[in-house]
Amino acid sequence: MKIFVLHGPNLNLLGTREPEVYGAATLESINAMLEEEAKARGVELKTLQSNSEGELVSAIQEAASWADAVIINPAAYTHTSIALRDAISAVGTPTIEVHLSNIYAREEFRHHSLISPVAVGQVTGFGVEGYRLALLAALSLDDK
Ligand code: CA2
Please report the pLDDT score of residue 23 as a whole number: 86
Q: Is the pLDDT of residue 42 over 70?
A: yes
CA dihedral sign of residues 105, 22, 78, 141: negative
What are the CA-CA distances from residue 140 to residues 45, 86, 91, 93, 136 (Å)?
A: 15, 24, 20, 14, 6
CATH of the domain at 128: 3.40.50.9100
Averaged pLDDT, 52-71: 98
| CA 143 – ligand 1 centroid, Å | 31
Total domain count, the chain: 1
Average pLDDT, rounded, for the chain = 96
14-38 pLDDT, tens digit per residue, is 999 888 888 899 999 999 999 999 9
| CA 4 – ligand 1 centroid, Å | 19
85-111 pLDDT, tens digit per residue, is 999 999 999 999 999 999 999 999 999
Q: Is 104 a catalytic residue?
A: no
User: Could you tell me the residue range of the domain that residue 81 belongs to?
Assistant: 2-143
Percent of the chain residues topping a pLDDT of 90: 92
- The CB of 6 under 6 Å from ligand 1? The reply is no
CB within 8 Å of 89: residues ≥ 6 apart: 118
